[in-house]
Amino acid sequence: MEQVEIPDQEPSQEKRKRMSSALEIDCPGDLRECLRNASNDGYHFIIINAVHPRYSRDLLSKNAPHVISRTDRILTGTDWNRLIVGKLTSINVDSETNHVRNYSKAILNQELGFASHLGLPAVIIRLHQRNNTNLAGILMEKLAGSNVNFQVWIQLPMIHPTCFSPICSKSEEEDVWEWWNDLRTLCHYDKRLGLMLELPDSQHIPSELEIKRWMGEPVKVLQIKTSLFLTNHYNQPVLSRNHQEIISKMLNLDVQYVIKGPKLHGKTYKPYCAYINYLGKKLFKNDAVTEFVQGCEDFLQNPLQPLTENLETLVYEVFEKDQVKYVEYQRAIQKALEDLPLSIIIPVIMVVGAGRGPLVQACLNASYILQRKVKIYAVEKNPYAINTLEDRVQNEWHGQVILVKDDMRRYKPPEEADILVSELLGSFGDNELSPECLDGAQRFLKKTGISIPVSYTSYLAPLQSSKIYNEIKNSKTADKTTESLYETPYIIHLVNYYQIAVSQPLFKFEHPNWNEVIDNDRYGKLRFPVLQNCVLTGFAGYFETVLYKDVILSINPQTYSVGMVSWFPIVFPLPEPVQVSKGETIEVAFWRSQNEEKVWYQWCLLSPHKGSIINPNGRSYFIKKH
């Protein structure tokens, strides 16, 4: 916070996705005019050959000529840096022929150097074969240097044409994802490496599984040939439903769209750009959730520790905005109230961890709907939330609520409750110590009393996301060890990811728990099938909770509570990505452990490769009990 400022206006709530599009022109005769036209037609940047092919280059001779390409003074440095992406000459640095390989390497190095000189934001390299080992070596030599600021976009068809050929048998050699995977693995998942995918024709769309896997990759650009466009009744270019479905999936990834090919729908390229913008409006799902999560995409957050650190106004406010959650809570409370025998004249409800009061309000609503009087205790330990509650007791709730400033694990109430209501769940269910808190709080619940929630279960699924792998790696600061980075779970709104298999239940907790000895430690193993070759980078965690009877809340993808925004998934990382193959099984072991001071998770990959135990004894990440 350097400047405190009243905003001039509210951020505009545009009901469309802003689409960034580019025009690909191999060798424009007049670069400035080409740029002007593209801009007039609505494009945001252009893609050209990094080096003009007019300039012949015999780089291996001693008297290499001075001239490489057009002079950089045609455009300003800022324009080169913002408006031009350079395609590199198609050469083969992995040729078996020495001369071809050496010449190709000289060309590639010169073009990378020139791109760096111009300050281009990105260069494009198209792959033509699976073996790109020498290319990876040359790229990493360059990227490891201090003054390289461009991205490298690897251009590939979404699917190899031979996959649909009746005479070719499909082999791994022709799975272009493998080409990409080999290259980026050699380049250690460098985040400057992105994908430029070519949209296939609508008869040759990859399978849904393959598309999902692409969505777990850093796709930066989708190239669309003008010949793929159909013509509608108004003679305007449109894309088929198949194509629209692919683009609709790309929307979340903020992919940029590149138009390439002859003008087939008029005298300019404007209609294509206009259509892409139209798709941004048509395909964009603008609901409460979208608005809520904007800006959080793949962003790492540390799990809250509400037990030991007081929440702040802004955090309370964000939680209170979730309508779905509190409507369900109110339904659960209402059902529980209905189930209480009428012999109980005034049921006692205790809200433990009342915060700024949303659950108290839900209780009052249920009581009003049923016209059944209740007595509510609101227990809260945060003195600043108590300040807010006191105001609501006086001005909104008119004394119907008894305010208690205490920790629910210590509080000694004057009577026992019929219903104990709490919202202590984290993204992984028990990870904010709901079990330990409710075990303490059930002291003041009648033996016949009801806990809302009744139970909760954590779920786990294997995950591919080089984006998140890089986010974690790059979150290293001077005061953190590398180990601690991946021995910590993160709360993440997952966008650029591929969930490798369906999630499975892991740990379950039920309340009240009248067992003589309560054991909240857990241990479990899960086995997931691998349906196609991919890269395992960690595990996504979710939860489902039964509030009461059939009223549930869930962030587990299979049972998701539509419209609920309070929780993002939790991600448990692995130290390094693991290549997994179709037919193999991913097996993982998970522990929930504790000592006097803290609770922690440990996890460990068992198969297809055995890993070490991550976060033993909670050495990097733990949840404080006090």
Which residues between 183 and 202 bind a copy of itself (CB under 8 A)?
none
- Provide the token pair at 40: 């007039």
Distances (CA, A) of 109 to 47, 65, 344, 397, 422: 19, 16, 83, 73, 62
**x-marked contacts with a copy of itself along 243-262 as a string, rule CB under 8 A:** -----------x-x------
Q: What residues are paired with 297 via a beta bridge?
A: 493
Distances (CA, A) of 581 to 176, 237, 502, 529, 532: 15, 41, 16, 10, 6
Residue type, 158: M
**C-beta separation of 590 from 526 below 8 A:** yes
Annotation says 596 is catalytic: no
Least separation in angstroms between CB 57 and a copy of itself: 11
Compute how many other C-beta atoms are within 10 angstroms of the C-beta atom of residue 9.
5
5 interacts with a copy of itself by CB under 8 A: yes
CB closer to a copy of itself out of 6 and 517: 6
Least separation in angstroms between CB 550 and a copy of itself: 33
68 interacts with a copy of itself by CB under 8 A: yes
CB neighbour list of residue 222: distance below 8 Å, 6 or more residues apart: 196, 197, 198, 199, 246, 247, 250, 255, 256, 257, 258
- Work out which of 34, 72, 278, 493 binds a copy of itself, going by CB under 8 A: 72
Report whether 329 belongs to an annotated binding site: no
Cα(303)–Cα(284) distance, rounded to whole angstroms?
Answer: 30
Stretch that binds a copy of itself, among 69-77, 261-269, 550-558, 612-620 (CB under 8 A): 69-77
Report whether 459 belongs to an annotated binding site: no
**C-beta separation of 594 from 600 below 8 A:** yes
> 3-class SS at 459?
strand
CB closer to a copy of itself out of 24 and 94: 24
Element (H, E) at 211: helix 208-214
The rounded radius of gyration (Å) of the Cα atoms in the chain is: 29
CB closer to a copy of itself out of 150 and 548: 150
- Work out which of 16, 27, 34, 82 binds a copy of itself, going by CB under 8 A: 82
CB closer to a copy of itself out of 389 and 565: 389
**C-beta separation of 231 from 238 below 8 A:** yes
- Provide the token pair at 39: 């801009």
Stretch that binds a copy of itself, among 70-78, 100-108, 276-284, 588-596 (CB under 8 A): 70-78
520 interacts with a copy of itself by CB under 8 A: no
The phi, psi pair for 465, rounded to 5°, reads -160, 100
DSSP states of 425-441: -BTTBGGG-HHHHHHHH
Compute how many other C-beta atoms are within 10 angstroms of the C-beta atom of residue 96.
8
- Work out which of 25, 88, 122, 401 binds a copy of itself, going by CB under 8 A: 122
CB closer to a copy of itself out of 480 and 525: 480
397 interacts with a copy of itself by CB under 8 A: no
CB closer to a copy of itself out of 476 and 549: 476
Q: What residues are paired with 223 via a beta bridge?
A: 198, 258
CB closer to a copy of itself out of 276 and 438: 276
Cis peptide bond N-terminal to 121, omega within 30: no
> Phi-psi region for residue 147, left (φ > 0), alpha (ψ -120 to 50) or beta?
alpha
Report whether 408 belongs to an annotated binding site: yes
Q: Which of residues 289-348 bind a copy of itself (CB under 8 A)?
A: 309-310, 312-318
Q: What residues are paired with 405 via a beta bridge?
A: 380
Stretch that binds a copy of itself, among 40-48, 154-162, 262-270, 322-330 (CB under 8 A): 40-48
Least separation in angstroms between CB 43 and a copy of itself: 7
Least separation in angstroms between CB 189 and a copy of itself: 17
Least separation in angstroms between CB 524 and a copy of itself: 32
Annotation says 423 is catalytic: yes
CB closer to a copy of itself out of 401 and 419: 401
Distances (CA, A) of 613 to 69, 140, 381, 588, 606: 55, 31, 36, 10, 10
Least separation in angstroms between CB 112 and a copy of itself: 11
Q: Sheet harboring 417-422: ordered strands across?
A: 401-405, 375-380, 348-352, 417-422, 445-452
- Provide the token pair at 326: 């509190």
Residue type, 41: D
> 3-class SS at 301?
strand
Report whether 326 belongs to an annotated binding site: yes
Taking each helix axis from N to C end, the angle separating 323-339 and 358-370, rounded to the nearest 10 degrees, works out to 50
624 interacts with a copy of itself by CB under 8 A: no
Stretch that binds a copy of itself, among 385-393, 535-543, 549-557, 587-595 (CB under 8 A): 385-393
Helix-then-strand count for the chain, H and E: 16, 26
Least separation in angstroms between CB 532 and a copy of itself: 28
480 interacts with a copy of itself by CB under 8 A: yes
> Of residues 432, 471, 487, 544, which has the active-site annotation?
432
Least separation in angstroms between CB 313 and a copy of itself: 4
DSSP states of 367-394: HHHHT---EEEEEE--HHHHHHHHHHHH
Q: Which of residues 341-370 bind a copy of itself (CB under 8 A)?
A: 356
DSSP states of 344-364: -SS-EEEEES-TTSHHHHHHH
Report whether 316 belongs to an annotated binding site: yes
Q: Which of residues 400-429 bind a copy of itself (CB under 8 A)?
A: 403, 405
Q: Which of residues 437-476 bind a copy of itself (CB under 8 A)?
A: 476
Of residues 51, 26, 192, the one with CA closest to residue 112: 51
Cα(505)–Cα(513) distance, rounded to whole angstroms?
Answer: 20
Distances (CA, A) of 346 to 9, 52, 195, 507: 50, 85, 64, 36
Size of the site for a copy of itself (CB under 8 A): 72
522 interacts with a copy of itself by CB under 8 A: no
141 interacts with a copy of itself by CB under 8 A: no
- Provide the token pair at 2: 């350097």
> Of residues 198, 423, 471, 544, which has the active-site annotation?
423
Least separation in angstroms between CB 118 and a copy of itself: 5
Stretch that binds a copy of itself, among 113-121, 176-184, 422-430, 523-531 (CB under 8 A): 113-121
Cα(530)–Cα(84) distance, rounded to whole angstroms?
Answer: 41
- Work out which of 15, 62, 73, 398 binds a copy of itself, going by CB under 8 A: 73
- Work out which of 37, 92, 104, 151 binds a copy of itself, going by CB under 8 A: 151
Stretch that binds a copy of itself, among 5-13, 126-134, 197-205, 243-251 (CB under 8 A): 5-13
CB closer to a copy of itself out of 384 and 560: 384
Least separation in angstroms between CB 187 and a copy of itself: 18
- Work out which of 9, 13, 78, 515 binds a copy of itself, going by CB under 8 A: 78
Least separation in angstroms between CB 117 and a copy of itself: 4
Q: Which residues are catalytic?
A: 423, 432
Which residue positions form the known binding site for S-adenosyl-L-methionine? 316, 325-326, 380, 407-408
